[in-house]
């Protein structure tokens, strides 16, 4: 319980962010992008798992376990407008009670044609953001685990560069039969070290406090997930233009609560096959066209095991004309060692 008290203390010290909107402020927003096909299919964020899947440590570092040693994961996202999002991680085979892993998360925005104030072309430039992920976890008791993910950050937009550091803290509790899982995660605690220009103002990071649970049915091949997202900001409001006047969009208590809730489920029709689905209410309300909402906010996916590889695919609808496709591949290198 000491770790839980520490997490609550740290979040309490972050009070300067508690009443801020989550959109339109801060820097390094790429840290919140989903990169796992499995998590994308489950609504975009989930933190309460029991599986031996290295990809899940990105969302909750306390999920890292010794069963993931020698596991390698590679992920790619075909994002909006040709933007590429990728993530790769590896957990070395180190003996002992502690578990370690390392990964890299990146966003490649591609090449752009630069121009001056008068329209004169200045040549092409590239834009990209990177974070290194250094994981550590340890069992506290037989049913409680804690973990941390330290994230050095580097971003580059033409001649503008910034360096920062962030950390994710997580704690996960399992029931004895592992049918129930409860998790608490604080993401993106940290600071910008260097700003994008000289004497610039240091911008806050996208702090996110999450509480999640999952339940596997005892008499059916299925598990259901729920995560409360952005608990550090109760009223997730945003400004929308009504003519030329900004209007603060506020809903009912139920609508405010649902904007924090992400739901998902997995069905296991076979030993090597998983079907997934998810729903993200906030995504639907913020991105859907009122007259034609379509499937915005909904997501789905599939996972298969072929030989020594786990292959996952996820698809999510972000707005009427665009769907985003996620691909993940994991394997344990120990299988290839005689």
pLDDT of 305 > 80? The answer is: yes
Arithmetic mean of pLDDT, 157-185: 95
pLDDT of 186 > 50? The answer is: yes
pLDDT of 240 > 90? The answer is: no
Residue 168 in domain: yes
Residue 19 in domain: no
Residue 333 has what pLDDT? 93
Task: Calculate the average pLDDT of the chain.
Answer: 87
Alpha-carbon dihedral 231, 9, 133, 198, rounded to 10 degrees: 90
Specify the CATH number for the domain of residue 45. Answer: 2.40.160
Nearest to 307 by CA among 336, 277, 270: 336
pLDDT per residue over 79-108, tens digit each?
888 889 999 999 999 888 899 999 999 999
Residue 25 in domain: no
Q: What is the pTM of this model?
A: 0.88
Residue 22 in domain: no
Task: Identify the domain containing residue 107 by its residue range.
Answer: 2-14+30-115+122-336
pLDDT-derived band at 285 (thresholds 50, 70, 90) equals confident
* pLDDT > 70: percent of the chain: 88
Sign of the Cα pseudo-torsion (256, 207, 179, 3, in order)? negative
Residue 180 in domain: yes
CA–CA distance, 299 with 36 (Å, rounded to integer)? 13
pLDDT of 137 > 50? The answer is: yes
Q: What are the phi and psi torsion angles at 186 (to 5°)?
A: -115, 120
As given in the structure block, the two tokens for residue 61 are: 């570092």
Output 298 or 16, whichever has higher pLDDT: 298
Residue 267 in domain: yes
Using CA atoms, how far residue 61 sits from 110, 135, 207, 308, in Å, is 30, 6, 16, 25
CA–CA distance, 277 with 298 (Å, rounded to integer)? 8
Residue 116 has what pLDDT? 81
Residue 44 has what pLDDT? 94
Arithmetic mean of pLDDT, 186-194: 95
Q: Report which listed range, 40-49, 229-238, 247-256, is most confident.
A: 40-49
Residue 338 has what pLDDT? 67
Residue 238 has what pLDDT? 62
CA–CA distance, 225 with 264 (Å, rounded to integer)? 5
* pLDDT > 90: percent of the chain: 63
Residue 256 in domain: yes
pLDDT per residue over 11-61, tens digit each?
443 433 333 456 556 799 999 999 999 999 999 999 999 999 999 999 999
Number of folded domains in the chain?
1
Residue 304 in domain: yes
Output 14 or 126, whichever has higher pLDDT: 126
Using CA atoms, how far residue 105 sits from 60, 77, 250, in Å, is 15, 11, 34
Output 118 or 212, whichever has higher pLDDT: 212
């Amino acid at each position: 319980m000491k770790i839980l008290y520490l997490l609550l203390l740290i979040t309490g010290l972050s009070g300067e962010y508690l009443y801020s909107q989550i959109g339109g402020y801060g820097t390094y927003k790429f840290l919140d992008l989903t990169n796992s096909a499995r998590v994308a299919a489950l609504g975009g964020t989930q933190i309460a798992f029991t599986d031996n899947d290295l990809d899940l440590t990105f969302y909750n570092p306390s999920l890292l376990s010794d069963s993931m040693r020698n596991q390698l994961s590679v992920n790619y996202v075909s994002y909006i407008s040709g933007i590429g999002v990728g993530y790769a991680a590896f957990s070395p085979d180190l003996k002992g009670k502690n578990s370690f892993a390392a990964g890299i998360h990146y966003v490649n925005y591609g090449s752009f044609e630069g121009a001056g104030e008068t329209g004169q072309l200045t040549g092409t430039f590239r834009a990209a953001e990177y974070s290194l992920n250094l994981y550590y976890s340890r069992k506290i008791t037989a049913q409680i685990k804690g973990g941390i993910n330290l994230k050095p950050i580097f971003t580059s937009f033409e001649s503008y560069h910034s360096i920062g550091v962030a950390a994710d803290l997580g704690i996960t509790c399992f029931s004895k039969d592992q049918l129930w899982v409860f998790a608490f995660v604080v993401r993106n605690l940290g600071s910008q070290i260097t700003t994008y220009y000289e004497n610039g103002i240091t911008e806050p990071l996208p702090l996110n406090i999450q509480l999640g649970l999952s339940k596997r049915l005892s008499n059916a091949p299925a598990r259901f997930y729920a995560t409360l997202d952005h608990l550090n900001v109760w009223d997730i409001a945003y400004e929308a233009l009504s003519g030329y006047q900004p209007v603060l969009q506020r809903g009912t208590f139920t609508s405010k609560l649902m904007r924090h809730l992400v739901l998902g489920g997995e069905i296991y029709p076979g030993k090597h096959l998983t079907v997934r689905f998810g729903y993200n209410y906030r995504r639907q309300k913020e991105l859907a066209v009122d007259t034609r909402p379509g499937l915005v906010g909904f997501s789905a996916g599939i996972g298969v095991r072929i030989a020594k590889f786990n292959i996952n695919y996820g698809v999510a609808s972000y707005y009427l004309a665009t769907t985003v496709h996620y691909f993940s591949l994991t394997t344990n290198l120990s299988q290839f060692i005689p």
